[in-house]
Amino acid sequence: MSYLEHPPPPELALWVECMWERRAGDGRPVRVLPDGCVDVVWIEAAGTHVVGPNTTAFTVGLAPGTRVVGARLRPGAAPGLLGLAPESVVDARIPVEDVWAGDGARLAQSLELDADPAAGLRAWLDGRTPRADRPDRLVREAIGRLGRPDVVVSRLADELGISERQLRRRVSAAVGYGPKRLARVLRLQRALEAGRRAAGGELARVALDAGYADQAHFTNDCRALAGVTPSVVLADR
C-alpha cells in the first residue's frame, strides 16, 4: 500500500487541503478516519464519488493494485467551492452524477478516460474557482481554535462574539456537524499525528499534549470515532 499527499496549487489553496493518491497493496481494507473534510474521490474502475464528512471511521476494500486519486477540501470549504451542503452528505459516499447531474457525469467520464486523473481532478476544481465563494471567515476562525489542545468549546461562542446557537448553525452548515463533534475529530487527528512521530509509542504524553485528560480518555475516544484503539490505528498507518 502506498499513499502520498500533495499540496494544492496556489489557486486552490483557499479551499483544498491536499491532493492525494493511493495505490492498493495486498487488498486489505483501508480504514478512513473522520477528519471533518469533504473529499472528491476517483477509484479506478469504480467511478468518482463525493465522500462526506464522517462522524466515525469506515473501511474500504480495494483490489490489489487499484489506483485512487482524491482532493480533500478544508473543513468548511465545500459549500463555497463545490456548491454543496456538507450536512446533506454526512457519512455518505455519493456518485458525482447524483450530486452534479450532467456536470458530474462529465467529470466521472473524463477521469475514467484520463491518463492522469489527478491532473484532471485538479483542472476540474480549478475551473470552479472563478464562481466559488470564499469560506465563512468566522467558521475558519472557529475551526482554527477548535484545533488547539486548550480549546474550551463551551466558551468559543463568547470568544467569537456570537451565540452558541449561531456558532452551532454556522459550523454545521459549513462542515456538516457541530463544533463539539468537530473538536473531538480534530483532537483525535492531532493525537494520532503526534503518535506517529512519538518515539516508542509514548501515548500517555501524546494524549495529554493533544488535550485529553489521560491515555484512557484518548483510547476510549479513539474506539468511539475510529472503531479501534490508537495502537491499531498507528499500526495500520
Per-residue pLDDT for the chain (237 aa), expressed as one digit of tens each? 688 999 999 999 999 999 999 988 777 888 999 999 999 999 999 999 999 999 999 999 889 989 999 999 999 999 999 999 999 999 999 999 999 999 999 999 999 999 999 999 999 999 999 999 999 999 999 999 999 999 999 999 999 999 999 999 999 999 999 999 999 999 999 999 999 888 656 899 999 999 999 999 999 999 999 999 999 999 876
The C-alpha cell at 113 is 478516460
Between CA 78 and CA 72 the distance in angstroms is 10
Between CA 57 and CA 74 the distance in angstroms is 18
Do 182 and 123 reside in the same domain of the chain?
A: no
Beta strand segments in 85-179, E: 93-95
The residues near 24 (Cβ < 8 Å, ≥ 6 apart) are 1, 30, 62, 63, 64, 65, 66, 67, 68
Question: The whole model's pTM is what?
Answer: 0.93
Do 8 and 118 reside in the same domain of the chain?
A: yes
Domain total of the chain: 2
Among 131, 159, 194, where does a domain finish?
Answer: 131
Do 116 and 28 reside in the same domain of the chain?
A: yes
Answer left, alpha or beta for residue 57, where phi above 0 means left and psi between -120 and 50 means alpha: beta
Between CA 12 and CA 160 the distance in angstroms is 27
Do 120 and 49 reside in the same domain of the chain?
A: yes
Domain that includes residue 212, residue range = 137-236
Do 151 and 110 reside in the same domain of the chain?
A: no
